[in-house]
Structure 1
Amino acid sequence: MARWAPGTRERLRAAALDLFEEQGFAATTVPQIADRAGLTRRTFFRHFSDKREVFFGDDEIPATASRILADAPADTAPVALVLAGLRGLARHRFEPQREAVRKARRIIDAEPVLRERDLRKQAELREAIREGFERRGQEPLVARVVAGLAVELFQTALERWVADESGALLTDHLDATWETMRSVLND
């Protein structure tokens, strides 16, 4: 295999997820991941700084959120903007990879160090959304509330989608979760 073969990162990620699922995150080593992928340990470290980065190393979601907020028309209402952004993210990034996302979520949920890292990533997304809304001219309190709602909406819908065996789309869960949030907030 060529040293810089296309798909190397994805092969490493798939091998890691399989091993994490088979023997647990803590018991899996970087050499095992590299061996399973048919690559070297050095190649692994060209793509990931450590095995946790298999889950979190290329998380472009905060940057994507910032870009969506910056590019949206100025008169777009905050909630409409959040819903459109989350639906787009669901359709383009998550729904095409449902089984990989499900596997990753099971592994993250089973490992405290990964749950902690996941919470930090959620906080980074919340901050990116808050900053984006403030740059759009929203009052700081409004920006903070909308950012918190956006992250909670997405996490709740994602958890429901991962657990759902019916085949419903993540966008369906986003809409249903938003309707529940809206009804609770209107009480």
Structure 2
Amino acid sequence: MARWKPNARERLTQAALDLFAERGYEDTTVIDIAQRAGLGKTTFFRHFQDKREVLFGDGTLDALLGRMIAAAPPDATPLDAMAGALDALGQRSFTAARRGFLARRQAVIAANPELQEREALKNLGLTASIAKALMERGVPEVTARVTAELGALASRIAYERWSASTGDEDFGTALRLALDEVQAVSAAR
């Protein structure tokens, strides 16, 4: 009898990434992913809605960002509340140990228009979550939306720089630099 192995979600994600890189996204099925992970199709669907979602999570980042923004000090500016939340998220998700996985993930996404579309939609949702969390702090709608857009832009710039670097720079450093640059450009007239 087979022994139960932990981390089904992570095993499914790794199996999907491996198969997408080997065979291509279109030529990989949910059954292929589940079998490679040593699991069944039912287990796959317990964790993910579809095979696209296996590379994008389940919305927990949106909720996590919302909680972190809500927990910012009451006197924090909207940009500081958002920056602190993005920095904390980066320390959790964009670590040196995950750099290789994230680079492979990005290569698979870049090779497939359907995955590019899903990534764009996820990014829009994340931006909307940031704006909503800021508005729940009492930030006016336009200020919240602009802050969220600036944060999203800075995050994309930081991610591109961080993933391309070969040094020990952490994501938080790249994010703070990108936020400073985006803020400086937005303040220039």
In 1, Cα distance between the equivalents of 2:24 and 2:180?
Answer: 37
Q: Which residue of 2 aligns with 1:54?
A: 54
Q: TM-score, normalised by structure 2?
A: 0.90
Secondary structure (helix, strand or coil) at the match of 2:169 reads: coil
Q: Which residue of 2 aligns with 1:79?
A: 79
| Mapped contact 2:16–2:33 kept (Cα < 8 A) | yes
Matched, 1:91 2:78: no
- The CA deviation at 1:68 is 1.3
Amino acid at match of 2:82: V
Q: Which residue of 2 aligns with 1:179?
A: 180
Amino acid at match of 1:157: A
In 1, Cα distance between the equivalents of 2:125 and 2:87?
Answer: 19
- The CA deviation at 1:114 is 0.9
Runs of 4+ deviating beyond 3 Å: none
- The CA deviation at 1:82 is 1.7
Q: Which residue of 1 aligns with 2:106?
A: 105
Amino acid at match of 2:70: A
Gaps (5+ residues) in structure 2?
none
Q: Which residue of 2 aligns with 1:153?
A: 154
Q: TM-score, normalised by structure 1?
A: 0.91
Q: Which residue of 1 aligns with 2:125?
A: 124
- The CA deviation at 1:73 is 2.1
RMSD across aligned positions (CA): 1.7
In 1, Cα distance between the equivalents of 2:150 and 2:39?
Answer: 42
Classify 1:59/1:98 alpha carbon distance in 2 versus 1 (closer, same or farther; 3 Å): farther
Amino acid at match of 2:90: A
Matched, 1:27 2:27: yes
In 1, Cα distance between the equivalents of 2:154 and 2:47?
Answer: 31
In 2, Cα distance between the equivalents of 1:150 and 1:17?
Answer: 28
CA shift digits 1:90-124 (9 cap, x unpaired): 11122142221111111112211111111111111
- The CA deviation at 1:59 is 3.4
CA shift digits 1:12-53 (9 cap, x unpaired): 111111111112111111222122112222322222222111
- The CA deviation at 1:153 is 1.0
Amino acid at match of 1:106: A
Count residues with an aligned counterpart.
186
Q: Which residue of 2 aligns with 1:40?
A: 40
